[in-house]
C-alpha cells in the first residue's frame, strides 16, 4: 500500500489539509458520506505540526520517527477539540488537576531538583490559611509522562486546608476571544476547536491516591462530596464563561475511566458522575445547540454507553476490547448508530507486540465491522518514550490500512 502521492505532497508545506480534515471529522458526526473514515495519529505527534521545523534534542530528531511523523502530517486527522485559533485559558495549569482551581497567587512552583542523570523532581506548593499542601512529581529525560511522588491530600485535615483557600474567578478580556469566535462563524458546521474538562473523579485522583479515593468512598464519603461540590461550583463558572464567549463546539471530558468497573459501579456513577460531569454536560448542551461532547474513557466503558447517551455524549474513545475493556466495536457501532461516534479501537499493546499484517487486520475490522458511518480510527494511546522499530513499522501499517479500508 502506498501512503503518499506527489499531489498530496503539494497540499501544504507539511502535506496536511486542515479544511479537508475538518470536513471529514465534522461530517462523521453528522453521518455524512465523507471521503474516508477519519484517522487519529498513532504517535504523539499532531498532523497540524511540522516535524522538520525544529530540533528537540531527543529521539524525536531521529529520522525513523520523523518519517512516521511526516506520514501523520499527510494522512491523519486532528482531534476536533484542537482548533487552529486559540484563546486565553481559564483553567489553572497545575491547580486545574491538583488544587481544585485554587487561584495562582496561592501557588508556588519551586526550582526543579535533579535526582539523577536522567530524573528531575518538580514540586508545587499550595499556600493555604491552614497550612501548606504539596504536589510532587518526577520526570525522566526523553520520557513524556510524569510519575506522581506525593499528592496534596493525605488525610481528612488536608481537605479542610485545600478548601480554606479563598476562591475567585477573574475572567480574561472578552475581546481576546474575538478571533476564535470569528473563525468558528466562518467555518460554520465544520468548525474545529473547543475546550477540555477534567472530569470530577479525575480531579479526585489528582488530589489524592486512587487507593485513598476508593477507601474514602466507603469511609469518608462526606469529604469527597465537599471536594466534588467545590469542583462543580468552580468548573461550572468557568465553563459558563467559555460558553458565553462562543467557545465550542467540541468539549473533551477526560479521566472518567477511574469510575469504571470493577473499581466502581452504577451506584457510584449515580453519586459521582451524573450530578457532576453530567451537570456540566447539561449546561453545555443547553447553552450551545451545536455542541459536541466527547468522553475519553479507558477500560470497561461498555457498561455505561447508555448513560453516555442519556447525558448527551456524542463520542467516546478509545473503545477498548477485552481484556483491557469490554466493548465489541462492531456491535457498539450497530447498537448506537446515529447516537454516538466511536474512536477506536486499536490497542497500544497490539501496536507494540503484533506484526504489521496483524495490525492491518485489526484496523480492517475496526473500520469495516459494523459499518463505517460512526467510526474514527484511533489507537488507545501513543508511545511516551523512544518507540521501538516494531512499533514504528506498525504505525506505518496502521496509516496505510486506515487509508485503504477507510475509503468511502
Q: Which residue has the cell 457498539?
A: 332
CA distance 127 to 108: 8
Question: Same structural domain for residues 383 and 254?
Answer: yes
Give a yes or no: residue 60 inside a domain: yes
Mean pLDDT score, 81-100 = 94
Single residue among 128, 154, 180 that ends a domain in this structure: 154
pLDDT range class, residue 380, cuts 50, 70, 90: very high
User: Tens digit of pLDDT for each residue in 287-331?
Assistant: 999 999 999 999 999 989 999 999 999 999 999 999 999 999 999
Question: Same structural domain for residues 242 and 120?
Answer: no
Domain of 129 in residue numbering reads as 95-154
- Cα angle at 34 between 29 and 39, to 5 degrees? 75
User: Tens digit of pLDDT for each residue in 149-207?
Assistant: 999 999 999 999 999 999 999 999 999 999 999 999 999 999 999 999 999 999 999 99
Residue 7, pLDDT score: 37
Question: Same structural domain for residues 381 and 283?
Answer: yes
**C-alpha count within 13 angstroms, C-beta hemisphere, residue 373:** 14
Residue 188, pLDDT score: 97
Into how many domains does the chain fold?
Answer: 2
Contact 315, 354 (CB under 8 A): no
User: Tens digit of pLDDT for each residue in 221-239?
Assistant: 999 999 999 999 999 999 9
Question: Same structural domain for residues 279 and 372?
Answer: yes
Mean pLDDT score, 94-123 = 96
Question: Same structural domain for residues 131 and 103?
Answer: yes
Mean pLDDT score, 30-49 = 96
- Average pLDDT of every residue of the chain: 94
Question: Same structural domain for residues 189 and 63?
Answer: yes
Domain containing residue 341: CATH number: 3.20.20.210
Q: Which helix (DSSP H) or strand (DSSP E) does residue 266 occupy?
A: helix 266-272
Give the whole-number percent of the chain exceeding pLDDT 70. Answer: 97
Question: Same structural domain for residues 263 and 138?
Answer: no
Residue 71, pLDDT score: 98
Question: Same structural domain for residues 116 and 223?
Answer: no
Amino acid at each position: 500500500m502506498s501512503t503518499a502521492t506527489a499531489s498530496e505532497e503539494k497540499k501544504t508545506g507539511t502535506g496536511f489539509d486542515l479544511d479537508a480534515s475538518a470536513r471529514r471529522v465534522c461530517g462523521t458526526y453528522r453521518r455524512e458520506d465523507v471521503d474516508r473514515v477519519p484517522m487519529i495519529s498513532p504517535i504523539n505527534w499532531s498532523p497540524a505540526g511540522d516535524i522538520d521545523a525544529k530540533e528537540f534534542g531527543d529521539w524525536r530528531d531521529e529520522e525513523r520517527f520523523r518519517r512516521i511523523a511526516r506520514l501523520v502530517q499527510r494522512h491523519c486527522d486532528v482531534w476536533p477539540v484542537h482548533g487552529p485559533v486559540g484563546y486565553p485559558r481559564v483553567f489553572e495549569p497545575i491547580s486545574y488537576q491538583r488544587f481544585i482551581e485554587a487561584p495562582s497567587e496561592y501557588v508556588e512552583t519551586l526550582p526543579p531538583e535533579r535526582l539523577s542523570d536522567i530524573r528531575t523532581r518538580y514540586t508545587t506548593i499550595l499556600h493555604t490559611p491552614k497550612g501548606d499542601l504539596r504536589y510532587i512529581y518526577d520526570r525522566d529525560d526523553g520520557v513524556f509522562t510524569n510519575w506522581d511522588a506525593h499528592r496534596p491530600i493525605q488525610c481528612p485535615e488536608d481537605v479542610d486546608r485545600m478548601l480554606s483557600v479563598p476562591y475567585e474567578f477573574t475572567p480574561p478580556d472578552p475581546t481576546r476571544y474575538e478571533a476564535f469566535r470569528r473563525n468558528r462563524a466562518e467555518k460554520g458546521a465544520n468548525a474545529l476547536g473547543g475546550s477540555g474538562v477534567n472530569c470530577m473523579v479525575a480531579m479526585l485522583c489528582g488530589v489524592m491516591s486512587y487507593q485513598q479515593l476508593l477507601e474514602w468512598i466507603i469511609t469518608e464519603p462526606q469529604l469527597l462530596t465537599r471536594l466534588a461540590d467545590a469542583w462543580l461550583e468552580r468548573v461550572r463558572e468557568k465553563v459558563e464563561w467559555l460558553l458565553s464567549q462562543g467557545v465550542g463546539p467540541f468539549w473533551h471530558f477526560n479521566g472518567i475511566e477511574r469510575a469504571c468497573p470493577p473499581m466502581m459501579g452504577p451506584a457510584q456513577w449515580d453519586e459521582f458522575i451524573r450530578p457532576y460531569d453530567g451537570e456540566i454536560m447539561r449546561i453545555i448542551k443547553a447553552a450551545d445547540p451545536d455542541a459536541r461532547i466527547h468522553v475519553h474513557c479507558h477500560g470497561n466503558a461498555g457498561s455505561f454507553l447508555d448513560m453516555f447517551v442519556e447525558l448527551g455524549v456524542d463520542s467516546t474513545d478509545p473503545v477498548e476490547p477485552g481484556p483491557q475493556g469490554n466493548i465489541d466495536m462492531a456491535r457498539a457501532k450497530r447498537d448506537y448508530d446515529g447516537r454516538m461516534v466511536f474512536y477506536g479501537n486499536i490497542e497500544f499493546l497490539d501496536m507494540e507486540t503484533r506484526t504489521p499484517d496483524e495490525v492491518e487486520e485489526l484496523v480492517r475490522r475496526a473500520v469495516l465491522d459494523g459499518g463505517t458511518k460512526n467510526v474514527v480510527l484511533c489507537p488507545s494511546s501513543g508511545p511516551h518514550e523512544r518507540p521501538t522499530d516494531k512499533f514504528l513499522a506498525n504505525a506505518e501499517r496502521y496509516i496505510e490500512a486506515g487509508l485503504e479500508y477507510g475509503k468511502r
